[in-house]
Amino acid sequence: MATPKSIVRARKFRTFTLAQIEEASGLDCGFCLACGAMQECCEPDACQYRCDDCKENQVYGAEELLIMGRVH
């Protein structure tokens, strides 16, 4: 679990740690794939919600992120 952050950033797709996903799931939150911000009031299966931070429709619920394999 000691992956340097620089390697994660260099990946084409943004991923999240299992701990982040679990925390988001417990808080009814999702994550923005564009900027990585946590968004509140996301159903676990939220898909392409609008991000409050970057205004991209790239917010996904915790369970959706797991299904998409965006966890490392």
Q: Which residue ranges make up the site for Zn ion (CB under 5 A)?
A: 32, 34-35, 37, 51, 53-54
Residue whose CB is less far from Zn ion, 35 or 71: 35
Taking the complex as a whole, the smallest distance from the CB of residue 29 to Zn ion amounts, in Å, to 13
Residue whose CB is less far from Zn ion, 44 or 49: 49
Q: What is the CA radius of gyration of the chain?
A: 11
Residue whose CB is less far from Zn ion, 1 or 17: 17
Q: Is the dihedral of CA 3, 6, 9, 11 positive or negative?
A: negative
The whole-angstrom separation of Cα 37 and Cα 59 is 9
